[in-house]
Every structure is written in structure tokens, then in C-alpha cells.
Structure 1
Amino acid sequence: MAGNMRELTSLTVIMPCYNEENTLEEVVSQVLQANILGLQLELIIVNDGSVDGSRQIMDQLAAQHPAIRALHHDVNQGKGAALSTGFKAATGDLVLIQDADLEYSPNEYPSLLQPFFEQRADVVYGSRFRGGHGYGRVLYFWHSMGNRFLTFCSNVMTDINLTDMETCYKVFRRPLLEKIQLREKRFGVEPEMTAKLAHLQPRPRIFEVSISYSGRTYEEGKKIGWKDGFRAIYCILRYNLIRD
């Protein structure tokens, strides 16, 4: 859909960050060491109004590593807003979303990128629920059921068969991102992106790969809550029924 794979030479990793001073340096180190299958790396960290030491840490990292760019929101706006800022600044042929915590491992990058190198995919989702080689920390039953329910609702409206719509790990050919305008500021961006991608014409080739996942507890810093679940339902309806 977006050209021959031999034209792909670079990868942009977008990392939204809000108050992640305890994990930021480690996850950045993992990204810099990740196997990205020979692509040139650009890492854009978007500070979404952090009030801890995250801003200072990312500025130091950007000064030390030419592959890193640090962008800043003066006030907290939400993950969706941070992604929009990162997407607009991205220059890579492929764009990958990476959270700034340690729930998702950059060791999964080869699996996420391989469908592009096989000239099969325009979009790849990393699924925590697909099965296969991945492993996962055992945590909240109702949280996982909520994720599956939202994925089911999204699939009904988009007519695609994802197993994990809410996953952080999404990789896109960058021209696709230029065709959609994101409106959601918080976690509603996940169903919004999925809806808008699914309704593009011609429909992009969307693939899933199994990934490992090491979730956090709320005491450890997990931020998404039940209110975000209700917003996700609204977004599933809003962006599938009204396409703008």
C-alpha cells in the first residue's frame, strides 16, 4: 500500500512520558540497544507535562545521544496529545509507539518489524492476548476482561478481528499517519486510531504478532482507570459512526 519495502530505511519510536523518572533511563537504554533490523533509529520522547524529574532526564539523554529528540508539553494533556505531537515530528519510514514504563519490552521489535520486511503489512499491532511466544505478568482479571471487551466492541464496529486493540505496541508506515487526524487527548486515542485506520480506503493491511507483557500495578504507577474504559466505548461509537 505504501511502497516497496526496500525503500524503508528508518524507524521512529514515539515515547509519550508522564512522570516516569523511575523507568525512563532504563527503557531508553533498551530502545537504543534493540534490534531494529538495520533501520536507522530516531527516538522522540514527548514529555507530557511531567512534574517529577522526567524532563531533566530526557533532556540529558537527548544531549548524550544524537538519535534522541526531547519534546515538551508545558502542562499534562494526555497520551493522545503526546502521540499527536510525536507523530507530527516523526521522520522515519516506520513509526512505533513505545510507553515510557517497562510494561512493554523493546526485545519485541524484531517480531513487530518482520511483517514489514516480508512486504505483508502496513500496520502491525503487538497483541498481549494472541498466544504464542509471549509471556505476561499475572495481574488484574477485570482489567484484562475490560481490554477484551473493548477489543470485541471495536471489532464489531470496524469489521476486523484484532485480539488486542488497546495494546501500546502499534507500528505504522508513516504515510498512513498523515491520512488520519487524531482528536482524542487521553487513552481514547487507541480506539480512535483503530477506527480511522480500519476505515481508510484502500484498507491498510493490518497484522498482529504475539508479544510479552509485564504489567504494573496501580501502586507501581499504572495510570489507566475505569473512566478511560467508558471513554473508550464512546470513542468506538464516535469514530466508527462519524468519520472525520
Structure 2
Amino acid sequence: MTDTPAPLVRTAHHRGITTLTLDSPANRNALSADLVRELAEALAHCGKDDATRAVLLTHSGTTFCAGADLRRPPEPGAVVGLLRQIVELPRPVVARVTGHVRAGGLGLLGACDITAAGPDATFAFTEVRIGVAPAVISLTLRPRTDPRALARHYLTGERFGPDEAARIGLLTATGPDVDAVLAPVLDGLRRAAPRALTETKRLLTTKVLENFDLDAGELTRLSSRLFDSDDAREGMTAFLEGREPGWVL
């Protein structure tokens, strides 16, 4: 008898808020093909569930999302589809972060409507350090974050904290207790009329969706090309072997 694999996304519901928990701590909640599929399925259910007023996206372990799973990566088109699904979902999506966020995980934050993090959260666009570029996640990040700050963090891959993330627009709010930060947010969502929430979210996401319509195809092709490059093979191999890639000076 074959055991059923444990779900990578856990679902819970309380007073109109459906919580989706990324629960793949063994790979730091990296975006594997399976996790992307399960999260997309869970979001689709939330979008059709009249009992869901809003979605709270959070995580188990010390990492919200480490970016793409380098051993079992999803297709770039699947990541684009997931990001667009969050933006288009007829329910507000709120991110709750208490740990580290890297690369593709930052694209998830960019897709969410409201984002909050605790003091232990850290952030980094690490793509350039493994020989690729933050291509498809730019669909959600470029319309919502400070372009000068984004240039610095895209180009250097350096780590930064929640205060900087809030300053540049990646986070809505931060504080010593993320649940205290989110309490009035969730209360406000529970007090809002469901149809009004849907239409208000539509107003807020128009420009982001225009970005998808204009650039998704080109950025998907760029991502595929870079992930198939010699630099990416060296960068990913170096990362998995715990060493510096050959281009480091």
C-alpha cells in the first residue's frame, strides 16, 4: 500500500479568513512544480468559496519561500500563471511572513494585496548570484515597488530587512508582532461587503494585470533562456555544492 504524500499547502478557515500555509520545510518552501500546483488548486477553491472573505498566505518553518526549487523547478509559465491567479483572485490575499524570503518568493509577495512581516524576516533577490535574472517575478514587483531601490536589490542580490522592504513597497507593514500588525487588517476585511471587496481589488490591480498582458510572454521566454544557460548551470551547481560560482572575483 502506497502512502499518500503529505500536502505541501495546508488549509484552515476561521471567521471568513482562509489560511493557506506553505508547508514544505524540507526545501524551505521552495517553489517546486508540486507546490505551485497545490497552491494554485487551493487558491482556485478559495476564489469559488462564498465563505472565504479573504486569503491569508503564510508558511511553516523559518522560510516563507526560498524561490524556485532548483532540483524540481516548475515551468516559468506555471509561475506566471500562479502570480496572475493571486492578482486576479476575487478575494484579497494577505501575506504573513515571519521568516526568510528569497527570489521567487518575493514575486509571491508582489502578487499579494497586503503584506506584513515580523522582525526576523529577511529578503534578497538572489537570482544574479546563480546566473539568472528576476524575470517573471518582475510582473508583480515592478508596478508596486520603488524602481531605484529595486535596481539596487536586483543587481546586487544583497540581503535586507523588513524596514527596507516596507520602505520600498514590498511590504505594507512590519512590526515586532506580525499578528498584532495584521489584526486590524483582518478585522477590516471581515467588516467589508464581499462584492465591494472584489470590485475594489479589481480597481487596485488593473495596472498590474496590464503589465502581465504586455510583458508575460517576453519575460517567460527570458527566464527559460537564462535557466538553460551555462551561467545558470554553474550557478545552480555551485549553490547545491555549497561553493562560490566560478565568476566570483
Give the TM-score taking structure 1 as reference length. Answer: 0.28
Give the TM-score taking structure 2 as reference length. Answer: 0.28
Q: Name the structure, 1 or 2, with higher relative contact order (CA <8 Å, separation 6+).
A: 1
> Radius of gyration: which is bigger?
2
Higher normalized helix content (fraction of residues): 2
